[in-house]
């Protein structure tokens, strides 16, 4: 039941984003840098779209698989690991990108940069024992 409420929230956010030129106009994402990530299901092959906040690193987009500090990675992370070519919607642009997990010092730098812009991510890291993945999206 909680999953359907969360799914409904995402569906409303996606519709709001697309109706307003790539900006959320209500809810907790107003004023935040948000993109829509479309991945291909790792097992099903079904395309799935998820709203995620992002930061920039030069011409690359950076997203973080925090799942609010949950003990497991978000489903979209497993999907892009299986199928790294994804579609992203940023503002009113749709792009194809290659998703690559950041490693080592680069991962730390990008995570810290993300947490500086979105302070809740520092808390998410404290809540979990897993290493939260940082994904670099490079437009193709």
pLDDT digits (tens, 9 = 90+) for 37-47: 999 999 999 99
Rounded mean pLDDT of the chain? 93
C-alpha 140/C-alpha 136 separation (Å) is 12
pTM: 0.92
Band of the pLDDT at 18, cuts 50, 70, 90? very high
pLDDT at residue 1 above 60?
Answer: no
C-alpha 134/C-alpha 40 separation (Å) is 19
Q: Are 61 and 67 in contact (CB under 8 A)?
A: no
The pLDDT, as a whole number, for residue 5 is: 54
Mean predicted confidence (pLDDT) in 41-56: 96
CATH hierarchy code of domain 31-139: 2.30.110.10
The pLDDT, as a whole number, for residue 8 is: 85
Q: Residue ranges per domain, the chain?
A: 31-139
């Amino acid at each position: 039941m909680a999953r359907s409420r969360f799914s409904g929230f995402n569906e409303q956010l996606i519709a709001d984003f697309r109706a307003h030129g790539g900006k959320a106009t209500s809810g907790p994402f107003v004023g935040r840098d948000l993109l829509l990530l479309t991945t291909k299901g790792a097992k099903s092959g079904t395309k799935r779209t998820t709203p995620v906040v992002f930061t920039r690193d030069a011409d690359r987009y950076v997203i973080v698989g925090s799942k609010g500090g949950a003990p497991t990675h978000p489903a979209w992370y497993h999907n892009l690991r299986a199928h790294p070519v994804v579609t992203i919607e940023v503002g009113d642009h749709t792009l194809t990108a290659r998703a690559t997990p950041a490693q080592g010092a680069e991962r730390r730098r990008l995570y810290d940069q993300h947490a500086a812009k979105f302070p809740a991510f520092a808390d998410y890291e404290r809540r979990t024992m897993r290493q939260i993945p940082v994904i670099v999206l490079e437009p193709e």
